[in-house]
Structure 1
Amino acid sequence: MRGDTLKLISWNVNGLRAVVKKDFIETFNTLNADIFSVQETKLHQDQIDLELPGYHQYFFDAIRKGYSGTAVFTKEEPINVTCGLGIEDLDTEGRTLTLEFPKFYLINSYSPNSQQELKRLDFKLSYNDALHDYMKKLSEKKPVILCGDLNVAHKEIDLKNDKTNHHNPGFSDEERQKFTELLDDGFVDSFRYLHPEEVKYSWWSYRFNARKNNSGWRIDYFVVSENGKNMIDKAEILNDIYGSDHCPIELDLNLEE
């Protein structure tokens, strides 16, 4: 913590062991976040010996090895840590990790991909509904910050080729509507709140030189409950940082009373 400012980073690393073999530690140290959330760890915690001096480490692993998973590294020890949403069918893939701090809840989410031909859309929508209900309930107690790869581009501005991707995974009407419903129910997309017209992406396919051509999607978010909106100080997409098919995103909070 820097005075009354808290720096949060979220990054889908697409395999924590893989990114550690690249520049993850150097990037981690340079960013110097107070809370650093990662998605798609693709491991069980006992499969990695990660030295991050000064940080508490919390993992929620998928039952299936090498798949999904979330983790949070935080300088301040949380009051409480909760793995999952409390719904067995939705909690086997290590997708939701909640840390309670004195002034807010942090939820790290790796939302399901609805997959080709939307074959997992029903599972994705069930997850979204359960996460929405969970966030709403927690927000009655204190502000909620949701971070992570939500696997949806909300508006046309949030992806390069909106017309050709309409109805594709991550840009189906159903997924976009669920995100709209969340925002309409008292939550704020922090990047769009501060940058209403800025075009910036957080994920690029490994195919067709997508990142070189900046043909991307904005599918990584910090979403803040309305009762915490006044804490939003800065929201950025750090698209000059490599190592994954996603780049990190940043949220700075002002915790002054």
Structure 2
Amino acid sequence: MKILSYNVNGIRAASTKNFVGWLQSTDADMICLQEVKALPSQIPEIIGLIENLGYHHYWFAAEKKGYSGVAIFSKIKPNHVEYGCGEEWIDKEGRILRADFDTFSLMSVYLPSGSSGDERQVKKYEFMAYFEKYITKLRETYPNLIISGDYNICHTAIDIHNPKSNANSSGFLPQEREWMGLFLEAGFIDTFRHLNKDPHHYTWWSYRAGSRGKNLGWRIDYHLATQPMLERIKDVKILSDAIHSDHCPILLELTS
């Protein structure tokens, strides 16, 4: 079973770069998207192409048009889909979507960025504190859980191209990194690091100064899985050749 996660930074923009054709070539069973920045009603042609590939699709948009929003596509119809998390401001920004299947639940999440200023950094910390409690409670009912998406956090120094110069940058702040460490210690697996300990693997690059061509990036996109899913982790990849966004897709392959 192949699961992809991809911050597309606008599905309409990504689709002008053959996103749907690329998706077909991956033969993915499920895909979590972040920053879709659109409602299904705004993209009927794209929806038609997605349905032609055999996907059931679920969207949770932000109230603000052209902003945020997450989606899940799946060739297996979920038993249940949960839109949002019950926290009003988070749900207004369209940041959490969950699909429940027979043997596990899959979430598409998009944590806020704090790079635009102190106010948004505070909201990011609020999200992190709420999310930790929310997931702790959720795991009591859904112990087999995969949380895929853009966390906007580099966990360790090997997850960022220049840890020294970015020591005070949002996304690599000590408090953010500590939160990620504690989240993992509470019972989650960073599936990529479980199978790959090497540096210089990134999932996001600035559009400035040719950063992508120089591989001056950040690894901020993750498939995190609860410990009961450990034995099902078969393969992980960062698909850096896919260029529809300033992010790239990440792949998690599970045994059936």
TM-score where L is the length of structure 2: 0.94
Deviations 1:17-42 (A, max 9, x none): 11111110111000110001110011
Q: Kindly indicate whether the alpha-carbon contact (under 8 Å) linking 2:30 and 2:74 is maintained by their aligned counterparts in 1.
A: yes
* Cα shift at 1:210: 0.1
Amino acid at match of 1:201: Y
Identity %: 40
SS of the residue aligned with 2:210? coil
Kindly report which structure 2 residues correspond to 1:135-150, keeping only aligned pairs within 5 A, or say none: 135-141=135-141, 142-150=143-151
Q: Which residue number in structure 2 is paired with residue 10 of structure 1?
A: 5
Gaps of 5+ in 1: 1-5
CA distance in 2, matches of 1:125, 1:151: 12
The answer to whether the 8 Å contact 1:125/1:178 transfers is no
1:79 aligns with 79
Residues 115-140 of structure 1 deviation map (CA, whole Å, 9 limit, x = unaligned): 24443222112212222223222323
- 2:202 aligned with 1:201, yes or no? yes
Distance in 2 separating the partners of 1:205 and 1:88: 31
Greater share of helix:
2
**Within-5 A mapping of 1:10-89:** 10-49=5-44, 50=47, 51-52=49-50, 53=52, 54-89=54-89
Instruction: Tell me which residue corresponds to 2:241.
Output: 240
**Greater mean deviation of Cα atoms: 112-121 or 186-195:** 112-121
1:53-202 residue pairs with structure 2 within 5 A?
Answer: 53=52, 54-141=54-141, 142-202=143-203
Gap regions ≥5 residues in structure 2 = none
SS of the aligned residue for 2:109 comes to strand
1:222 maps to amino acid: H
The RMSD of aligned alpha carbons is 1.2
Does residue 214 of structure 2 align to residue 213 of structure 1? Answer: yes
3-state DSSP of counterpart to 2:92:
coil
Q: How many residues align?
A: 250
* 1:50-104 Cα distance to aligned partner (Å, 9 max, x none): 2212110100000000000001110011011111111112211101001111111
Cα deviation code 1:202-253 (max 9, x no counterpart): 1000000000100000000000011111111111101111111011000001
Q: Is the 8 A contact 1:153 1:217 kept in 2?
A: yes
Q: Is the 8 A contact 2:37 2:65 kept in 1?
A: yes
Measured at CA, do residues 151 and 24 of structure 1 come closer, stay the same or move farther in structure 2, by a change above 3 Å? same
Partner of 1:3: none
